[in-house]
Amino acid sequence: MTLSELPVTVYCLHRKGVRLERCLRHSRNDQWVIRWDRDCLQKDGTWRYEFMPSSREAEFLKATRWDTPEEALEFWEQWVAEHDLSFLI
């Protein structure tokens, strides 16, 4: 086995801890989330605290999950171009 054969579960988007993570879903395709500490970047461009799995509502998941890592990365790149990242310091 080689590293290229292993599935990627996390990408580092920023050295201060922002990461793109795979969300494993047993009955459906995996989705992707942009996380910083315990917050998730929503599709409206705001950060929202992520509660424990049993407390997450469908609305929250829809607002914070992308179907592919490419979609999430594209959103992140657009978001970074429009925002000051000094809060990550």
In a domain, 87, yes or no: no
Q: pLDDT, tens digit, for every residue of 28-78?
A: 789 999 999 999 999 999 999 988 776 678 899 999 999 999 999 999 999
* Res 89 pLDDT > 70: no
Cβ neighbors of 9 (< 8 A, separation 6 or more) are 21, 22
Count up the domains in the chain and report the number: 1
CA 33 – CA 11 distance, rounded (Å): 10
- Print the domain residue range for 35: 3-82
Q: What is the pLDDT of residue 56?
A: 77
Residue 28 has what pLDDT? 79
In a domain, 13, yes or no: yes
Give this prediction's pTM. Answer: 0.87
Residue 20 maps to a domain: yes
Strand, helix or coil for residue 88: helix
The burial class, CB within 10 Å (0-12 / 13-18 / 19+), for 61 is middle
pLDDT over threshold 90, residue 87:
no
Of 7, 38, 9, 6, residue with least CA distance to 23: 9
Inside any domain, residue 89: no
Decide if 7 is inside a domain: yes
